[in-house]
Structure 1
């Protein structure tokens, strides 16, 4: 499946391994959360990078001790109206996770800005929409009402942009 990072299609070099699948001797691997819990010692001793596939029902708080050892976390969007991955992504960034956050599943161009604002930086996009549609979606909004604290780009908040050259606003008594 095509992988979009910084508006460019890049090859996905990660190997996804199921809960009971055999680990390859080398290479970066993505494992489900249950396997991470069960085999943390073996997985963390590997010389390659470790990624995690988290389901929408897993709690991000349970990853606290594992976060420093993870280079990638994959979060699913099983349906366009299932927003649990947004909440999980934001929670992970607030917990201090700075590795790659990848969105997979029903990822749509019109939701790209929201995904970037909560911390996603890679997207498994499929071939449903051409790359030009994704590039356009990434440029459509350069300002956001909510703070996009985790975006690695030039996005700014509207309040900040409006007040860069303004004098500080002093509290005025309420007329009325």
Structure 2
């Protein structure tokens, strides 16, 4: 599946992806191998706190486009836990959600079709400044203007 990251379509380097419970078991037994985890909508990202330094990718699953719990998970990871690694949206991810996902802290998107990946890559470059601060770490226009 194509991956859009930093506004570009890139190869999707996939290691072993575990859901939360198997990941926590593996991380307890052998932390160096636990580098990618997939959160399902009802998982609590706070359980990942002890492992954030070793995690390379946190995938957040969107089984249906109408399920918005992944936005909250991304916000918790970025804002409360200070996670700096990649947060990747996987599943039923639509182009209409892109801007909101970027602002919530997502920085990569796994998509089902190549043409959708090209549209996502172009759309991720449409806006460069925002008025409101968000989990993406960008300062708002007013903060930049008055700093």
Normalising by the smaller structure, the TM-score range is: 0.7 to 0.9
In structure 1, what is the Cα distance between the partners aligned to 2:135 and 2:77?
13
Give the deviation of 1:108 after TM superposition.
1.2
**Residue 55 (str. 1) matches residue 43 (str. 2):** no
Q: 1:132 to 1:61 in 2, by over 3 A?
A: closer
Pairwise CA RMSD: 2.3
Structure scoring higher RCO (CA < 8 A, sep ≥ 6) equals 2
- Deviation of 1:141 after TM superposition, in Å, equals 2.9
Number of aligned residue pairs: 146
Moved over 6 A (4+): none
Structure number having the greater helix percentage: 2
> Which blocks of at least 5 consecutive residues in structure 2 are unaligned?
none
Higher Cα Rg, which structure: 1
Partner of 2:26: 39
Q: Which residue number corresponds to residue 113 of structure 2?
A: 127
Superposition TM-score, scaled by structure 1 size: 0.72
| Alignment deviations for residues 52-108 of structure 1 (CA, whole Å, 9 cap, x no partner) | 011110111222112122111000111222110000001000111111100001111
The answer (yes or no) to whether the contact 2:75–2:135 under 8 Å persists in 1 is no
Cα distance in 1 for partners of 2:140, 2:96 equals 19
Are 1:159 and 2:131 an aligned pair? no
Cα distance in 2 for partners of 1:38, 1:132 equals 37
Question: Mind listing any 5+ residue stretches in structure 1 that lack a counterpart?
Answer: 16-28, 166-176
